[in-house]
Structure 1
Amino acid sequence: MPSSPPWAISFRTALLRATLYTLAIGGIAQGGYLEVLYLPEVRYTELGFTEFTQTLVLASCCALLIYIRHVLKVWPTVTLLLLAFIGASLVREQDYFLDHYVAEDTWKYLVALIVLPSLGWVIFHRQRFLEEFRHYSNTFSFGLFAAGVLVTYIFSRLYGRQDFWRAVLQEHYIRDFKDIAEEAIELLGYSLILFATIELLFLARRIYRARQTP
């Protein structure tokens, strides 16, 4: 019988993780509900539960990717590209504070400083990137990450269109409905990206241990 690759996990482990991720999603949904009930002054604003959790999730993803890249040293070009993408998203989420306390459109310059050098490095090492991506694209982590990107950057934007909500609510249209729907779906997408990063961490640890074994 052929041996399992270093990234293989058991059914029990997969079931446990799926259960924990389900509970986490439920907790986030409950947090949004409590935000509406008990934080009416700041609900779905930059100071509310949803926006704060988005920032916390993205910051956690960045910290995990830095650990994977610089400590475990697994797939450095792939993780650099992921880190640049998520780091840019983290900066973008702080646009209100940057515009208010620093200068208008500051976040755009910070995103450019993150993305352009990282993209240039990946292009320069494109052969290494393609080799690493060939492995990463066949993992559960990649599937979750792709789902998170589609939910956050495609579906939430389309679902949160003002024209759509005006058509639904007609003369009863209130911008809060649109904002709540968009931000809640965005948080769901970010959560999927966090789960993908956690899965990548577990995978990287297994690969790291396999490298240490003679």
Structure 2
Amino acid sequence: MRQIFKALILPFIITSLLAAGVFHTIRIDYFILENQLRETSLTEFLQQLFLLVSLSVFTYSAHKDEKSRPLYVLIAAFFGCMLIREMDYFLDMIFHGFWFYPAISVAVIAIIYSARHKSCLNKSALKFSQTNAYFNILVGLVIIMIFSRLLGSGGALWKEVMLDDYRHLYKTIIQEGLELFGYMFLLVGSFHQLRMIKKQFPQRNK
């Protein structure tokens, strides 16, 4: 019974609590902090934090797992580019569009490294595609990169639905809320990845 609870029910409870946390984060930003979910909002901060955690997990994975290192370097770099893009508000203080240069640099370096060590890339990718980490990350990326853009696009839907009642803030709340929900799945996937790496490479007591 304990194994059934741990395998089936506990993940549902944890994911539900995280989803509720996303909802309450939006409420805190709008009703308490009254920041209208701008770039310095709690929602944006958590998005960046979840990305940083995911980036750190796959950097750690690349360090530990030599055979899958090219794949994990690519994934870590991808999250790194996403994090840089999410921080464009601060990076644009240097000059507008500055975020592009560190992002493209990270991407190019990771691609070159993985291309030079591509012999085990296909095998690692196939193995990774069968993990809980991949499934959660896949769901998260679809929400962040596709669904949040489609549903959060005011021009495509909400202006036509709400007509004169439309406010740009509605679009922002929907899109940023969905993005945070997607980043939550990235965090869950990264947690699964960390557990898997810890099992494969247990720390030895000195």
* Fold agreement, TM-score > 0.5: yes
Q: Quick one: which of 8, 16, 23 aligns to 1:22?
A: 16
Which amino acid in the other structure matches residue 115 of structure 2?
Answer: I
Unaligned runs of 5+ in 2: none
**Partner of 1:137 in structure 2?**
129
Q: Could you list the per-position Cα deviations for residues 151-188 of structure 1 after superposition, in whole angstroms to 9, with x for gaps in the alignment? A: 10011111122222211111222111111111110111
Q: Could you list the per-position Cα deviations for residues 79-106 of structure 1 after superposition, in whole angstroms to 9, with x for gaps in the alignment? A: 111101111110001111111x211111
CA distance in 1, matches of 2:75, 2:69: 10
Corresponding residue pairs, total: 200
**Partner of 2:178 in structure 1?**
185
CA distance in 2, matches of 1:79, 1:123: 13
Which amino acid in the other structure matches residue 33 of structure 1?
Answer: R
| Contact 1:92-1:107 within 8 A present in 2 as well | yes
CA distance in 2, matches of 1:127, 1:74: 10
**Partner of 2:163 in structure 1?**
170
| 1:73 Cα deviation after fit | 4.8
CA distance in 1, matches of 2:141, 2:174: 17
**Partner of 1:92 in structure 2?**
85
| Contact 1:74-1:207 within 8 A present in 2 as well | no
CA 1:102 to 1:34, structure 2 compared with 1: closer, same or farther past 3 Å? same
1:54-93 mapped onto 2 (5 Å cutoff)? 54-71=47-64, 73=66, 75-93=68-86
| Contact 1:74-1:204 within 8 A present in 2 as well | no
CA 1:12 to 1:198, structure 2 compared with 1: closer, same or farther past 3 Å? same
TM-score w.r.t. length of structure 2? 0.90
Give SS of 1:102's match.
coil
Which amino acid in the other structure matches residue 104 of structure 1?
Answer: H
Identity of aligned residues (%): 25
CA distance in 2, matches of 1:150, 1:114: 22
Give SS of 2:79's match.
helix
Give SS of 1:106's match.
coil
CA distance in 2, matches of 1:195, 1:201: 10
Q: State yes or no: 1:208 paired with 2:174.
A: no
Give SS of 1:44's match.
coil
CA distance in 2, matches of 1:93, 1:82: 16
| 1:11 Cα deviation after fit | 4.2
TM-score w.r.t. length of structure 1? 0.86
Unaligned runs of 5+ in 1: 1-9
| 1:12 Cα deviation after fit | 4.2
CA distance in 2, matches of 1:29, 1:65: 27
CA 1:20 to 1:72, structure 2 compared with 1: closer, same or farther past 3 Å? farther
